[in-house]
Chains A and B, each alone.
Chain A
Amino acid sequence: MRKKSIVHDDPITFEVVRSDLYAICEEMKSVMMRASFSPLLSLSADLSCAILDHKGDVVAQGNDIPVHLGAMPFSAKGILESFALDSWKPGDAVLSNDPYSGGSHLPDMTLLSPIFDASSVVGFSASRVHWPDVGGSAAGSSSVTDEIVKEGIRVPPVKIIKAGEPDQGLWTLLFANVRVPHDRVGDFQAQIACNARGVQRVSKQITRYGGAQMRRIFSETQDQSQHMINTMLDKIPDGTYRAVHHLDGDGFTEDAGNGPFGISVMIEKRARRLCFDFTGTDKQAKGPINSPFAVTASVCYYTVLALAGGAVPPNSGAYRGIEVVAPEGSLVNPVYPAPVVAGNTETANRMVDVLLDALAPAIPERAVAGSYGCAGVFALGGWDAVRGGRFVHYETIGGGMGASAQGPGIDGHRVHMGNTMNLPCEAIEASMPLRIDAYELIDGSGGAGLHAGGRGVCKVIRALTDDVEFSLLYERGLHPAPGMLGGEAGRCARFAMEHVDGTKTTLSSKTVGCRLMKGEALRIETAGGGGWGDPHESGD
């Protein structure tokens, strides 16, 4: 017999409140985008919002960014370890970005604001926002270094707002350590307003339905998702599934073979438990490709939710049957002071391909070939002689997605763990001394197959001023996206500097500290996705 639950007592109220919680997350995001100062937030929407319960588990989340959302409970729990539930007051807010306390990488700043009923904390309004700069050695805080201290300011959980009043000391310290603090303050105020909107909206529900009822709904929303995931897990045959893939390099060392950057997984499926065991994965790298545990776990969560096809309301309940084993000191669970900035953006996407590859024999009808394997981050900056000021630019580029039984892979979009928007070329040219010569799909870059892989993207960025310093953090420059069930691999990513005299310099997928002189161009060609099924069967 099922226990008595609100889902069964009052299914209508349950559904009304649950829908509203998801709508609240969307409303929080809209506040953040409209009020913020950075194009990365207002145009690209590199941010995620959620409502958490009093334990820090996700109850509802926006249609945002999987790597943010899956990792959110880890940050929340890290914060709750520092600030026990009874220490919170209405109007407080705690900030953290620490990958060694549940965070993903330093630019992702998580802010938690408590929601009270008459007696105590019912839950939290939470946002994770990619700040365009958090200090460190390079503009945009995206670079190849050998320790996290060089990646920017590390903020362990701190109570930045106490009962509605900012802690002036912390505030001053924080904004003294980031580039263009004027804009960062504007962004942070928008983030505070975003959380406040969540608190205000959920508080209204509490007034209406009562704290006890809301706690039940918070908990049963998660139970329901767990139940739905179980139904999906029942369709995956029990067994042990394995795969190993290798990364291109860490920015210090490159390797086209089965060198030092292997990610190994053994997935054990037993009844309604799915264990992702990364034992055998190589040790943590010197460069920033290390994936903190929260990121590794969110890759596993994403994969399971995606296999369920988007029908399951995403929240922590969906993750209960998932166990993640990641050896300490490895690429997928690094220890201090390993740098991590690209773990979240690049390595995480490669890991999804490893998991899907491993699971393919178990669920061939839902298997997906390899994708372009990264977020495609490039950052650049310098002195804009025309406008008379410093400029910083951070952008991601889409690529090919792997094909599946359902059809060809999508072309030129963000896949898997990320989902920010691009910046319009017209917006880039209007605000920076750059010209975009081309932004197009690459013919033939998707792997052949009964269903072809998605095509990669070519973007050519020309400098209109001297000394534009840039960095690239990409993947699949050396390891193509594998095809599946007879499908062929996609084309590798390629990177080059095009000089004024017509010559070219080939670059690696992780490049830092290069400069473009006026008239020189950076050509980025992202990888194509792998094909699915035997290409000779196509055209039936």
Chain B
Amino acid sequence: MSVQSHDQAGLAAGLRTSDKPLGRDDLARLVARDIKPGSFVNLGIGQPTLVSNYLKPEQNITLHTENGMLGMGPEATGDQIDGDLINAGKIPVTELPGASYFHHADSFAIMRGGHLDICVLGAFQVSATGDLANWHTGAPDAIPAVGGAMDLATGAKDVFVMMTLLTREGVSKLVETCTYPLTGIGCVTRVYTDKAVFLTGPGGVQVRETFGCTLEELQAMVPVPLTAAPAVGS
């Protein structure tokens, strides 16, 4: 076991890729960079939408919006605004050459059928085994609204979550077991936070990189066991 520990120490030393926590835009830039060229991607409402600002044309990414479109372009401005052309957040958007429109059952068949490579979602909590809670606080007076969250979580080949690691009260949103109502079970594959990137799955939680903290400091904030991920491509 000492060999493994030694490896872990070596890996942990190379994990810190930034001296300070990442801001929302830096995190969006990182997610955009990690999306493989040619992917079909759905970006959830809120923070994940920022990712589109950092996708490069040479990545050749096709964006899906669940209200019925592939090939969605940037947000519409001025004369481009057309009430018949909106995204899932009901914001006017544009179409890119090669775009297509389809009805709602087809749009969700695209998700459920496993045709999307990646969806990027926000979260209230993610568990160590990749369970996701992002639709409902469960508060008794809250009016529940789910939209396409469960379909996205269940359908895409990879589910990336973007969130701050800690709540405003300083509690970790990466948890052993979600206490908020679940969106999907074992669906999250990566968690991008301001303090670290985590890989989740049946083997537990691995840390790919940290921002402004060491693995030890990170472990002190998070109530699930963390290990350093083997470096990719080394």
On whether the two chains bind one another, the answer is: no
Binding site for B on A (CB under 8 A): none
